[in-house]
Amino acid sequence: MKNLKQFSNYINESEDSEYAPITIKKFNEFVNGVEEDAVKAGEDSDVVIDDVTLDSGEKIKGAEILGVIIDASSEKEFKDYFYKEYGNGSFTEADIMTLIKFYNEYQEEENAEKAEKEKEEEDAAAAGGEAGEVPAEVPAEEPEDDIESELADLES
């Protein structure tokens, strides 16, 4: 420890030193200092949602926008959230169009994924199930004893 103090004093006293004082940050200090300008809508997503700065100087984080997009069931509900949260007069037409663009891009990607998944399921059902897939549920056949007993009942 004594050597470390001597080394530290040497660095601080040397003006032409090539060593700069080191500041070690805790994890929380480091994470809180990082400002992200954009958020991806998911790991495999191509949709990137940027922060939106309003004319009033207020900044809407991309994470908040994404959260509202995921939670909203319609475009109207999406817009209503921001009008209620930030006020009707806070947005220019360009600001609203930017938010709607993010909403529509996310919805288009979600709809494309759903359509692709449905197509794969239909193809698997038409092919009788491919390797590695669970076959579609087949209705259970009635045992022959039941059919024979029903026929006997009908004849009598």
More confident residue, 7 or 66: 66
Handedness of CA 107, 112, 113, 114 (dihedral sign): positive
Contact 48, 102 (CB under 8 A): no
Note the pLDDT of residue 152: 74
At 65 the three-state DSSP class reads helix
Q: Count Cβ atoms below 10 Å from residue 110 Cβ, excluding itself.
A: 16
Q: How is 6-47 classified by DSSP, letter by letter?
A: HHHHHHHH-TT-SPPPP----HHHHHHH---SEEESSTT---
Residue 74 is classified by DSSP as: S
DSSP letter at 136? Answer: P
Confidence of residue 87 (pLDDT cuts 50, 70, 90): confident
pLDDT in tens, 94-150: 889 999 999 999 999 988 888 988 888 888 888 775 555 555 565 555 555 677 777
